[in-house]
Structure 1
């Protein structure tokens, strides 16, 4: 690339592959999302999108009044605590909580859990009783029906997530009687990455109506209603975050109809978001290692592949990526964008538009990579180093870090002979 840019300087100083997280963009995403929600609505940040402690800390806010933490492992719990979250700020979710994980989380002070089934609720209760306490639990609901058709569907089919909504009435006595737990509310998450505002609103309205129905079936008032998320941002491609200016009014009308005391906090309302809050703050910088032609097709090989930006472990859901400069900003060529790994699956885009004339040593930038980056990739495959991660605000570099692969040993027996 012919012109010097801040990305060029970062790459020269810190090497590539390098993720660059822009904290001003992260702040803007949080501000926008909160502005489109009813007053008092809590926002849980899903750490699975990016558990980098500095991003988690920034989303929490300097006064702790920003996003709460939604986690699904003790590793994410450690990141949340490192970022300054109090254990009582944390919602622990996931369908496979082990006894050891529950024991550790409760021992550290976590008291709010999402229960995916009756047996999951019983496991939470057993761990709480072992430590002489009681856990507040949200029942995660797998709705039998859905409203919206856009985004990735999370309900309405057999799944490891949530209690089938049609079984709640029969299960209610058993759910309410699990020792060591109290039913604090409901957790409904029906879709992911819904760019269409009308579709997202339709799903939320369906969710609120269903929650009111389940509250009547349970016969206990809900203290917290988590209606999930689905807020959309491009992933590894050019584009802007979706906007939801009509969401607040629609949610308020639905809540007034189904939960007349919600403005008094009965129940408190919550949403959750991962990719929307951090997605567009990230840019992945990679260097061209080689350019080759094979039987008439050009391959641009980068030092970053599915081990760096794996698209949820390289399953190909997000291909292809796009790179800066954007195709309409300069002459382009059609080529495949490959990573450095010794596997034919290490492809970030097949026959896509790339800047013309790319050569070894050139820098490319993949936009909208703040979510599902290093920790959602095949990070240890082939033993390559993890990418660097730089946190910046304006022209100031706040930190540069790297995840290290470390194997630990413990002696189990003396060697024979």
Structure 2
């Protein structure tokens, strides 16, 4: 594979002796660069949510908070992580296509007041639980537009989906989406697609979102709803587990500003807030998986490389519809230099006792030997916690945090552990005992 044997500053050589393997290594300097790059591409005054599903490591969250992003969460675990990182509950946007009463009640009790809702039932549920809790909640009505947007990595709209209410449904029955005394509909949530890889595709997505938002806003206005928040989602592309840079967003800001000026010319005067969301673009480039070679052999005429890490550590989340070919890169160390040309065309596998544990079937690699270190870049998003961490009981990788602006420093090394705890039986009312 071209580039697979080139040296690259994935992990500073000075910190390698201080890291266990396997380990995810997150660089806070790259987190800062990701935030700065996206901020520079968004219109002046636009809000930005960080999607915790991408990476909820405490120091990554802290850095994101300090860069001015707000947290977008979709579970009690993510909510707890956001609050522990220092965000006030008032900054949280709680999303997700299905929520249990106990989850909503817990979030309200902690002070969360803004929720994304996907149906009349979800609006009614939020209003009922908020009334029981003696508070008033606000909600963004998520819209599933009538057509998908071309160029997206994963369809989020225009197809049958658990996400959002179809545009046609809202326009036909707007009264069902107008909210109530304890669940005020204050905005719209339009997330068209993910991993759009050029400015043209992103501009087209946001243009379509604004067109749809105008129609829905007009329909809801007849039932007393004033849209004060417009969440246009994200979809900002970035490479996953392969060589490459973040998508170049040069030119996006003026295009987005022009779109907003046409669709919402009075947004500054009337206080309408426009917000965006991102996970992978902000932190994807900040992570690398460092893992060791356990065995190298020949089998039926093929080179086979067995690593410490497999689909339990990276790439095992079939729910992302993404099982890419993952080609690790040899990491130079004092006793191991990189050969000029690849010498192996190898099947790359992990240590799991299943033939499904395969990263690549024909990866071009240098002449590896047991004990060598290899690395997979661009896994700061959808890495460890998007993998099959419990499958076959291997230990989870460590997670180490460095700061490229402070060479040689390892700020933190921790490891997640899975534990089994007793859970009481569900009560007759059906509220889930596992929710705090």
- Asked whether 1:366 is paired with 2:376, we answer yes
- Asked whether 1:278 is paired with 2:283, we answer yes
- Asked whether 1:388 is paired with 2:398, we answer yes
Task: Indicate which of 401, 404, 408 corresponds to 2:417.
Answer: 404
* SS class of match (1:305): coil
Task: Indicate which of 340, 344, 360 corresponds to 1:349.
Answer: 360
Residue 334 (structure 1) shift: 1.1
Count of aligned positions: 408
CA gap 1:140/1:42 in 2 versus in 1, 3 angstroms? same
CA gap 1:6/1:271 in 2 versus in 1, 3 angstroms? closer
- Asked whether 1:295 is paired with 2:303, we answer no
Partner of 1:108: 110
CA gap 1:272/1:207 in 2 versus in 1, 3 angstroms? same
Normalised by the size of structure 2, how large is the TM-score? 0.89
Q: Is the 8 A contact 1:314 1:378 kept in 2?
A: no
Task: Indicate which of 157, 174, 181 corresponds to 1:172.
Answer: 174
Residue 121 (structure 1) shift: 1.4
Residue 279 (structure 1) shift: 0.3
- Asked whether 1:15 is paired with 2:28, we answer no
Q: Is the 8 A contact 1:302 1:338 kept in 2?
A: yes
Partner of 2:326: 321
CA gap 1:112/1:316 in 2 versus in 1, 3 angstroms? closer
* SS class of match (1:48): coil
Distance across 1 between alignment mates of 2:183 and 2:48? 24
Partner of 1:338: 349
Partner of 1:218: 220
Q: Is the 8 A contact 1:134 1:182 kept in 2?
A: yes
Residue 400 (structure 1) shift: 0.7
Residue 178 (structure 1) shift: 3.2
- Asked whether 1:231 is paired with 2:242, we answer no
* SS class of match (1:157): coil
* SS class of match (1:251): helix
> CA offsets, 1:342-374, max 9 Å, x none?
1111111121222x2101100001000101111
Task: Indicate which of 18, 40, 55 corresponds to 1:50.
Answer: 55
Q: Kindly indicate whether structure 1 or structure 2 has the higher relative contact order, using CA contacts under 8 Å at least 6 residues apart.
A: 2
Partner of 1:255: 260
Distance across 2 between alignment mates of 1:7 and 1:215? 51
> CA offsets, 1:296-352, max 9 Å, x none?
112111001111113425877141123225999643421111111111111111212
CA gap 1:227/1:177 in 2 versus in 1, 3 angstroms? closer
Distance across 1 between alignment mates of 2:126 and 2:316? 32
Task: Indicate the larger mover: 36-45 or 119-128.
Answer: 119-128
Q: Is the 8 A contact 2:10 2:377 kept in 1?
A: no
Distance across 1 between alignment mates of 2:219 and 2:403? 49
Q: Is the 8 A contact 1:49 1:275 kept in 2?
A: yes
Partner of 1:34: 39
RMSD of Structure 2 on Structure 1 (CA): 2.3
Q: Which runs of 5+ in 2 are unaligned?
A: 1-5, 332-337, 426-436
Normalised by the size of structure 1, how large is the TM-score? 0.93
Residue 98 (structure 1) shift: 0.7
